[in-house]
Structure 1
Amino acid sequence: GSDVFGLDDLFAAALEMQRERTVPPVSADNRSVEESLTRHFAKDDHQFQVSMDAVGNRLDKLREDAHLRRIFSHVPEQDETGEYVDNRFDFREFLDEDVTILFDLG
């Protein structure tokens, strides 16, 4: 949907959260995520910085691997009706199936 974002946007939001101590915008369907992120502000400064550094380190691992960066940076375009106009990841058809999905990352 319109709330899709790529890896670089996620990394920028994490940095802003660490520097500004503000929760990034969260879709209305994910208020529990907003509550979880807000709880981090209750930590003392050292604990907060350690947690946020860990977030940055994990995101760096995704950004450093060319295959993973390409996967997690893909943001499918939509037309004016909200229909996707290019390739996208959509696993909804598999969620109710007894399947294993494998990713060959090179």
Structure 2
Amino acid sequence: METAMVLPSLLLVLSVLLGGVTVAATQLACADAARVGARALARGETDHRARELALSASPDTADVRLVREAGTARVTVRAELRIGPAIGPPVEVVGNAAVPLEPGV
């Protein structure tokens, strides 16, 4: 009887923990994708190629923003994900990276 009363609470805690792990993994993927894009941009790759490289390393729903300013390549990767089928609004995850431009770029 006690198990039947506690089981829904345990399932809720498990789903929250799994959602947290998913958000953390997505944030790490966005940060890695931003680093890949920023390194490519700093090496002198075209914006199109740097965006392709960042998108290839990012989650499926990601949006990539590239900026070259003051000797620095900055890349921001944003992704939205839903935790569960219909629980609340989507969570936005952001990864940023900034790398100094290579000399001569």
Q: TM-score, normalised by structure 1?
A: 0.29
Which has the higher Rg, Structure 1 or Structure 2?
2
Which has more strand, going by share of residues?
2
Q: TM-score, normalised by structure 2?
A: 0.29
